Amino acid sequence: MRNPDALLRRAGVRGNPDRDQHFLIDDRVLDRLPEYAEEAAFDCSHVLEIGPGTGALTDRLLAVADEVTVVERDRDLAGFLREEFADEIADGRLTVISGDALEVDLPDFTASISNLPYGVSSEITFRLLPRGKPTVLMFQKEFAERMAADPGTDDYGRLSVSAQHYADVEVVEPVPKEAFSPPPDVESAVVRTTPRDPDYEVGDEDFFLRFVKAVFTQRRKTLRNAIRNTPHISGLDDADAVVDAISEGRTDLDPDVLSKRAGKIPPETFAGLATAADEFGRKSEAEDGDSLRGGETT
């Protein structure tokens, strides 16, 4: 395996916190990242890596994957990767894409194993998860714990519901600051996501995610008030009609749910709330030529 410090020297770079550049240099952590995918029996025939930097993790991915595609925003680092891994590129085992992972076309990968740039980790994660592929991703520890949190815990929130809508989420390893060069100001953690179909149905996924976002902006209020106070976020046309329908027992929900707070209810209850909100609180496309059901995503 290539030595992470030697890669940094050959690349002639140093991490830059102002550019969200913290290179993972701990051999033990680097070695374990692919192992977390292998022990879960993930299909590693084509692994996608976001933010490869100087290629320390890329080198290890090439040892377990048939094919690796990396997306690197820094043009100089992308050029270095093409030189450092020229043989692997020539063999058709590595593809280097120079560009922003939020903008480039992603390949049909089978799994993603990445040390994500923390500044855009949320946006990248919610570009990956809807693809229905397993991941092993490095995050800021606080973000990781929120992704995996259970209802009723302090960390449970919009991120928990949204991530767990797509996958089973588990924090598999905390990672100290010293594993990076330069060390970031925060602790990190490795998260493994295993895609699954949720045990509930939502008719409009974009609206479901937007509705979750809306009510969690008022997590200290009851759901009754949170629904009424956030139509500008959720996209509801008549929030009172939603509350009335639930209160009067015209939905499958227990009316008592309206007295609870967002942090206490599981994702399947959010699905029921969003279904009721969609049915009773939104205009149909036939009623509104602006097609409200095609609104912005979370």
pLDDT tens-digit readout, 227-247: 999 999 999 999 999 999 999
**Which CA distances in Å does 286 have to 96, 229, 275?**
47, 26, 19
One-letter amino acid identity for 149?
A: A
Distance CA 211, CA 217 (A): 10
The model's confidence at residue 177, banded by pLDDT at 50, 70 and 90, is very high
pLDDT at residue 283 above 50? yes
Residues 6+ apart with CB under 8 A from 102: 120, 123, 124, 127
Tell me the H-state helices in the chain.
Answer: 4-11, 27-39, 56-62, 75-84, 86-90, 121-128, 141-148, 158-166, 205-216, 223-229, 231-234, 239-247, 267-281
The model's confidence at residue 137, banded by pLDDT at 50, 70 and 90, is very high
Residues 6+ apart with CB under 8 A from 282: 207, 235, 236, 237, 238, 292, 293
How do residues 110-131 score in pLDDT, each as one tens digit?
999 999 998 999 999 999 999 9
Q: How many CB atoms lie within 10 A of CB 30?
A: 20
Distance CA 93, CA 113 (A): 16
Token pair listed for 298: 């979370």
Residues 6+ apart with CB under 8 A from 286: none
How do residues 82-106 score in pLDDT, each as one tens digit?
999 999 999 999 999 999 999 999 9
Place of tokens 């309206």: 258
Contact status, residue 222 vs residue 273, Cβ threshold 8 Å: no
